[in-house]
Structure 1
Amino acid sequence: MGLLDFVKNRNKELEYMFDFDLIDGTSEKIHMKKLAIQICVDMIARTISQSDFRIKNGKEIIKDELYYRLNVRPNKNQTASTFWQQLVHKLIKENEVLVIKTDDDDLLIADAFTRAEYALYEDNFKDVVVKNFEFKRTFKMSEVLYLEYTNEKLTTLLDSLYTDYGELFGKIIEFQKRKGQIRGLVDVEAILEKNEKGQEKLQNYINKIYKAFSEKSVAIVPQQKGFKLEESKQSQQNHPVEEVNKVTDGFLYQVANALGIPIALLKGEMADVEKQTRNYMNFCIGPFIKKIKDEGDAKFIEKADFLKGKRMDIRKISYNNIFDVATSVDKLRSSGVMNGNELREELGLEREDDPMLEKYVMTKNYSESVEGGEK
């Protein structure tokens, strides 16, 4: 068992890197799963954190205390980008996130809470904990921002998939650890003491030998009577480490599919990158933005004001170069489909108080023809 302990310790660093318990044959550790989820969730969180959150009353953007909280400083200890990244992380990983408002108008993300659900009344949230502070009061649904992602936690949905990938991953890592391994065989004649003390002396001697072999570039071992040491190196087979990366990437791509992230973006492929980015913004980021917008409309805006045109508006990060779409912008303006300020909004720019930008213009090529000559 001493030799087995030596081999295990020798590969301790590799075992830690992949976090797999190879002795038991099954894995209870989740580094591969956590890494895949972290990569995908970070990508979504970084994208959403670059959005601009604002309240609009018709065409007017209301820049007040709420605007400052949503885009600059939600609370005393966080910037807006950090706040939104944390919100997205908790929403995806834990399936839900609760944001409360303090008496100082700070927006805080709850670390833990208990939800009491009712059929005909507002749900209540109690035992709300933020960092190490527990609120003694009970929050009503109308007083908080509460977002849900799906019906089950993402990690729960991936558990069955992870079991299959984990078994395959563990077998590949186990094989890689055996490949090229040097194994020692020790023949001992029956001249040593046949008791516990003799066995201990022999084991200590063997440990010293292998320690010298593993730590020194040149190791000289004196031969002992009745003691013979042989080493055998396992044959190299064509099972490269790339197989480990393939399994890891396969699991990562399955997580990305579950979240709606195009695989090509994770791979860094440049072919059709604009199309892949558009799909990512529409089918992955879009639903998250819609959840935040719907909750903001319900909690930040009164019903009467909403019916009059007051809305929460979230401007996503633009992935188009303004110069690449210049021709299309010109066509939309010259055909009278959109005015200048509407185009500025679509490009992510602020509206300008210029009467000319509010006009719909049409060039001669788009004007109605007059029979019998030019107008």
Structure 2
Amino acid sequence: MDGLTQDAANRAYLKNKALDININYVARTLSQSVIRLKDKDESVKTDWHYKLNVRPNTDLSASDFWQRVFYELIRNNEVLIVQTDTYDFVIADSFVRKEYALYPDVFESVVVKDYQFRRPFYMDDVIYLRYNNKGLDEYTTDLFGDYGELFGRMLDSSLRSNQIRGTVEVGTVSGTEEQKTKKLQNFIDRLFNGFKKPVSIVPVSKGLEYNELSDGTKQGQTFDETNQVQKAMVTEVAKLIGVPPSLIHGETADQDSAQEMYIKYCINPLLKKLEDELNAKILSKRQVSAGKHFEVLSLNRPKPTKDIVEDSPNVDKLIGSKVMNPNEVRAIYGLPPFEGGYEFVMTKNYSNNNNSETKGGETDNDDTTNQGNNNSE
């Protein structure tokens, strides 16, 4: 029975460790998110900006708040955010959801810390996110059943290999049987207590002699092998969540490619969930139709100086060929629009006809006119 209990403990420890490493990695990434309310292409500063980007409630900063939101979302497959009477956003620790076919679902018995709300919350009035990976917990439980058993046996083998073994020879010891037993036990206790110290001196007792059979240096399962098992489990969970394992383990090979995959297949879908929920629950249908919308940026947020310098040849082509206007390009890099930036301008390199919209050089007619003026002189 003790062995079964120990195996279960190993499985729970390894499972929680692997899940926490991966989920916290994603949650820390998303805690850097910036949420913007935009009116078409222009950012609008309202009270929502402060609540969503600075201080959602009295106890948490925005980064701590969103890190916990996404941790709860991935770990528990769902997360509920409700707004208090003071307009603070708080994360529910527990709740009961009542589902209806033709009416909005209702959340009851909502508990935040040690406080339970007496009133119900309707779906239209809350921010509710689902991860849609219900099998994560079940799959990892089954997976770590085998890994936990393997890890436990490797630890046992390592302990046995490094175990100090010895015998105690008992000669003629005076006294009663109880006195002999007590004297022997005291001698053994001094031995064990001495082995726990870097340097130990054990006095020799008459009639008792200690002989060492193994000094604990026998080669067995190495520490590196147990680390490899733990690394393999972290890798399996990373694949389930959509995180390239090389990023979790700090490997530098193909880091740019791994980062791109991480943003595309793990971060962007989670940001899209939050964007959709904010647009649906905070903005009205009329506001959305008029062009207002929330934009959530994290690692996918462009770095204007670095990215524009690297992409400058392509930016020039996009604007010069009238595929995009300057403000549309600026929006891609997270820059605000400027007056007159919505005008399309084609450079001479992309134009077949010389007209008033053409920019980028002098015309042949100008050269001919200048030559004619020079000749007349």
Answer whether TM exceeds 0.5 for this pair. Answer: yes
TM-score range, shorter chain: 0.7 to 0.9
Closer, same or farther: CA 360–275 of 1 in aligned 2, 3 Å: farther
1:231 and 2:193 equivalent? Answer: no
Counterpart of 1:105, as a letter, is Y
State the alpha-carbon separation in 1 of the partners of residues 313 and 144 from structure 2. Answer: 48
Identity of aligned residues (%): 37
**Contact between 1:49 and 1:84, CA under 8 Å: does it hold in 2?**
yes
Within 5 A, what are the aligned runs for 1:101-180? Answer: 101-152=83-134, 154-180=136-162
Aligned to 2:170: 188
**What is the TM-score when the length of structure 1 is the normalising length?**
0.85
State the alpha-carbon separation in 2 of the partners of residues 219 and 276 from structure 1. Answer: 56
State the alpha-carbon separation in 2 of the partners of residues 218 and 197 from structure 1. Answer: 26
What do residues 229-286 of structure 1 show as CA deviations (whole Å, max 9, x unaligned)? 2112256336321111110110011111011001222233333322211111010001
Q: Which runs of 4+ in 1 moved over 6 A?
A: none
Aligned counterpart for 1:288 among listed residues 249, 270, 274: 270
Aligned counterpart for 1:362 among listed residues 343, 346, 357: 346
SS in 2 for 1:168: helix
Closer, same or farther: CA 221–277 of 1 in aligned 2, 3 Å: same
1:329 and 2:329 equivalent? Answer: no
1:28 and 2:14 equivalent? Answer: no
**Contact between 2:25 and 2:248, CA under 8 Å: does it hold in 1?**
no
**Contact between 1:301 and 1:311, CA under 8 Å: does it hold in 2?**
yes
Aligned to 1:353: 338
Aligned to 1:18: none
**Contact between 2:41 and 2:337, CA under 8 Å: does it hold in 1?**
no
**Contact between 2:99 and 2:105, CA under 8 Å: does it hold in 1?**
yes
**Contact between 1:72 and 1:79, CA under 8 Å: does it hold in 2?**
yes
Counterpart of 1:39, as a letter, is I
**What is the TM-score when the length of structure 2 is the normalising length?**
0.84
**Contact between 1:40 and 1:256, CA under 8 Å: does it hold in 2?**
yes
Give the RMSD, CA atoms, in angstroms: 2.6
Aligned to 1:343: 329
Farther-moved stretch of structure 1 (191-200 vs 332-341): 191-200
Closer, same or farther: CA 93–216 of 1 in aligned 2, 3 Å: closer
State the alpha-carbon separation in 2 of the partners of residues 348 and 248 from structure 1. Answer: 41
What do residues 19-52 of structure 1 show as CA deviations (whole Å, max 9, x unaligned)? xx87965132533322222221222112222222
State the alpha-carbon separation in 2 of the partners of residues 182 and 315 from structure 1. Answer: 58
Counterpart of 2:130, as a letter, is E
Aligned to 1:48: 30
Within 5 A, what are the aligned runs for 1:82-93? Answer: 82-93=64-75
Gaps of 5+ in 1: 1-20
Closer, same or farther: CA 348–35 of 1 in aligned 2, 3 Å: farther
